[in-house]
Every structure is written in structure tokens, then in C-alpha cells.
Structure 1
Amino acid sequence: MKAYMVFDIGGTYIKYSVMNEAAEMFASGKVPTPQVGLESFLEEISEIVNGFKASFDIKGIALSSPGAVNTKTGIIGGASAIPYIHGVCMTDLIRERTRLPVTIENDANCAALAEGWIGTAKDTNYYICIVIGTGIGGSIVMNQSILRGANLHGGEFGYMILNDASGASGKKDLQSIWSLTASTRALVTEVETKKSLPTGTLTGEEVFHLAESKDVAAQESITQFYKKLAIGIYNLQYSLDPEKILIGGGISKRKEVIEGINAELSLLKDDTSTLTIEVEACQFDNDANLIGALFHYLKVHEPSIIS
């Protein structure tokens, strides 16, 4: 059976799946990400691929990876929780081990591509995905292609400065950027501070549970969280003017989050700013990176399948 080996490289686990050209998964699993170095990582990937070759006609390998991925050279720039994957030609190294064609794409970009292929943004030519978690990242997609930018920073929405950026030393105050003012981590930190709790006491889910139980600190912080997100989204709509804006990350699965952001966006509409701006939740969750990595592979090696 013709199939593709797809990997989602994470700091804790490497997820994998054997998939066909329609993104149907025939076998899936995960293994701990090796912590001891590149050689162990390459051996793990090779063993998984070779283990499935007996049962499937594996045509190629698709990778989803953290970092500033150069899809043309196969080199992962930037930084991540897996230092040894950076600065080497990952596609060449895996190709040499497996004798199969290999593609690689950034994980956030993979998630966005999955949505445009068979998800919420299917049949949408121009959209952006905003992923909210520890920070805020995302992707800009036009005609099924990622807008990467001159420095591979296209979609790094979290770097936007939305507050007074002047710190006490005269340098930029990092707390002014969107990632550190409107991320899930920022929400949790704010509630922990208001309740005099040690850092790391709460999770995003627990903050929403507190709000549901009428905790005033949690309710007030969530209201401000929606406002801060709405302001950034408003700026993105007016600067990029996409057809759709999708929200990803674990928090996007809460219906009240999407409703809360949209309620705040509606308040920003006036006689001058007349656009109706609304967000939608991404369709895919844990499998998004795998689906998008497969799409990227097919686009590079078998474009007729997805055209």
C-alpha cells in the first residue's frame, strides 16, 4: 500500500504516523525525543521508518519541526527545546539513512497548512492562523503557500508591541510584546499574581475553571485577556486584510474563548473602523502538524495529488 511516513518533532515526544495521500492514518504512535544528541535522534527516526517498510510502500518522509525552518535547504535555524537539530541539513541526514525523499516545514506552518487543505480554511485563498499558548505565534497563508518573509519571520505575530515599550533602562521592555501580554501563559501569570500564588501553580484550564466558579480575579483577567487579543487581531486584520483569521492552540477548543474574542472585536467597530472582524477556531488539534507536514510533502513531490 502506497503511504508516507510523517513525523512531528517536539521537545518531549516525536509523534509519527503512516498516512495516505488523503491524510488517513493507518498507524500512529510517539516516542520520547532523544535528549543525548543528533545521532540518537537519527537512529530513532530510521528505526521507525524501517519498521514500517515491511508493511507499507513508503514513498517519502515528511517532517514538522520547531525553529526557523528553511524548507529549501533543510536546515533548521533559530532555537528550540532540541538544540541538536539546529544548524544541520536535517533532510539530507535523514535521506542518507532511509534512502527516501524528505521534506521539512515549521510546526506552526504545518498546522496552518492543514487547515487550508482539509480544515476550517478549506477553499480559502488568504488566511492567517494565530496560535495562542506559552507565547503567540502563527502563519500567513496565501494560495496554499506560507508567506515566510525575508528573515523567515512571517507570522511571528507575538513580537508585535502593543503597550508602551520604554523600559526603565531606556531599552525595549519585553513585557510590552503581544506574546507576553496576551498569551495563555500571560493570563495564568496574571491570575497567580492577583491571588498571591507561586508561579506554576495554575494552568490555563484551571484559570477558566476558577472563572466558572465565580472567582473574581480569574473573571477579570479573562475579560482583559480577550481585550488584549482583540486589539492584536484588529491590527492584523487592518494590516494584512485576510479573508479568515483562525485561532489555534489548546485554548481555542473552548467555545467561550472564540465568543469572548469576537465580542471584544465587535466593540472595536465604529464609524472609522467599519470592518466586521471575526475569528474562528482551528479544526485540528493534536494531528494538525502531521497533516500539514504531509500536505507540504505532497506539494513538493506530488503536486498533482492535491491540485
Structure 2
Amino acid sequence: MSLAVFDIGGTTVKHGVWMNQRISQVSAFQTPETFEELLEKMKQTINAYNKPFEGIAISAPGAVDQEQRKILGISAVDYIHQRPIFDELEKYFALPVSIENDANCAGVAEVELGVGKDAQNIAFVVLGTGVGGALFIRRELYKGSHLFGGEVGLLKSQHIQTFSQNGTLVKAANFYSDQTNTKIEGKELYELNQNGDSLAAELLNDMYQTMASNLYNIQVMLDPELIVLGGGISKRPELAEELSKRLLEQLEAEGVGEIMPTIKCCKFHNDANLIGAALNFQKRT
């Protein structure tokens, strides 16, 4: 199967070619300001690939309602919401189109072809600027009664703020910048910690503890056998080990250490949304 695949984001639209169960020719263009411009850029991209595509697979922000064939909710790309977008795209391109939420797509990629391919019940947690996620029960994506399943970024543990607001590397680096009147990114926070900076060490410890506390809530509520970590920080080799240690401590403190899941970092990283979008197309056709 040959598909043109797009991942619509607030800053860029990534795209690639899906053929022989792999993604290739990955590139991106700046996210257009209108829906009409998006259609034109997608058309130019498809024409440039110069291939006979069988369909178009899309990863997008928002709650994708497959029955209404619309994207509900809100996102930074406001013009894709609350319109008959499936019908509009299929009419414009004269090809079948599939659309699924971006975090769900990334989760599908990991469950079908990545680190979750041998598990039954999986929680996929995306640790980016904010936090997203996807839930899989008996390997099937669980979207919930209001298409809101897996929105773990809105979890609140001991904090008034949500997981997205206080549990990411981006937020920890921002807090360091505010406290020291500097401007650093997450990678630099780790470097400062390695050089003995006490504030950096404190912020990373708080970040890990917040992450582990929210994973605790996910675990005791859903009891998955596997938690998969995505997002930029998932490229750090120590992440899964650090969170495994802290989560086990919290579970054992409540006498339920036996329900400890396996925690793994994702396999596909930046290509996960594209791969998952293609796999979603294949499942729906």
C-alpha cells in the first residue's frame, strides 16, 4: 500500500511516503494560515512525490470523531476543527482519507510496530511541551465516551496544576530561567545538573517525582502491563529507569508493588505520528 502521510502541527506539517510498511522521504512545510492554503500545500507535496497513492493518512490535533467525520475540540490549527474535513479532503484529492489524533497515532505506531507489539494493555504517555497520551485495552485504542480517553496531561495529583503544567522538562527549564534570569532549554538543565548546579538538580528531581506520581495514578486506575514514554525527553536513556524506580517506590509504599508495570521509551520518536497515521489508514480500509 502506498500512502501520502501528513502530521499537522501548530508550527509545521510533516509529511512522508508510506510504502512496504515503512515511512520514507520525510520532510515538512510551515503550517499554513488557512485551510485553503493547507490544501494547496498538501497538493503540491503529493504532486512532488510523483507516486500513485492509494490514499491520504493524517495525524492531527484535537478529538477526531470518525462517525461525524469531523475534528472536534480546539488546537493551535483552529481551521481544521468543526468542519466536514473528511469529506472536504476526499473531494479535493479524489482519494480516501483517514484522520486520527496525533497522540493516538503515535501510540498506534508503538503498539503495532514498536516497543508495545507484545503487550496487551498499554498506556502511552507523550512528554513534550505539554503532556498527551493514548490508552490501549487488549491492544485496541480506547477513546472514551467523549473521545477524551488518554488525555493524561489534564491529570492532577498533589498539585493544583495539571501534569502538562508542572511535569515536563520544558517547564522545569523555564522555571530555572525565571529563577536565574537566564534562558536555557531542557538539555542545558541536564548539563547544569551534571556540573553540580543545585537548582537544576532540585528541578529535575521535582520533575521526575511529578511524572512518577502521575504514572502512579494511571497505573492504579488502568493497571496496564506496559507504560510507553514518548516526546523529546524519551530520547534520554536514563528516563525509563528513573521513573521505574520512583513509581515502584510509590506502589510499594501502598502495598501494591506487585502491579508494577514495565516502563519503556518509545522506538519511533519523531516519526511516530506519521507511522501511526498510516497504520490507522490501513486498519480503517
TM-score (norm 2): 0.93
Alignment partners' CA distance in 2, 1:216 and 1:164: 23
1:1-307 matched pairs, under 5 angstroms: 2-25=1-24, 27-35=25-33, 37-52=34-49, 55-163=50-158, 165=160, 175=161, 177-193=162-178, 195-197=179-181, 201-268=183-250, 269-270=252-253, 272-275=255-258, 276-301=260-285
Alignment partners' CA distance in 1, 2:115 and 2:215: 18
Instruction: Indicate the percent of aligned positions where both proteins have the same amino acid.
Output: 35
Bigger mean CA offset, 287-296 vs 208-217? 208-217
* Unpaired segments ≥5 residues, structure 2: none
Alignment partners' CA distance in 2, 1:208 and 1:130: 21
Change over 3 Å in CA distance of 1:210–1:129 after alignment to 2: same
Alignment partners' CA distance in 1, 2:140 and 2:257: 29
Alignment partners' CA distance in 2, 1:122 and 1:12: 31
Alignment partners' CA distance in 2, 1:279 and 1:153: 23
Change over 3 Å in CA distance of 1:196–1:28 after alignment to 2: closer
Contact 1:49 1:98 in 2 (8 A): no
Alignment partners' CA distance in 2, 1:49 and 1:126: 36
Contact 1:60 1:101 in 2 (8 A): yes
Alignment partners' CA distance in 1, 2:273 and 2:170: 22
TM-score (norm 1): 0.87
Contact 1:74 1:103 in 2 (8 A): no
Number of residue pairs the alignment of both structures matches: 283
| The structure with more radius of gyration | 1
Q: By how many angstroms is 1:191 displaced?
A: 2.1
Contact 1:3 1:20 in 2 (8 A): yes
The CA RMSD measured in Å over matched residues stands at 1.7
Q: By how many angstroms is 1:189 displaced?
A: 3.0
Contact 2:224 2:261 in 1 (8 A): no
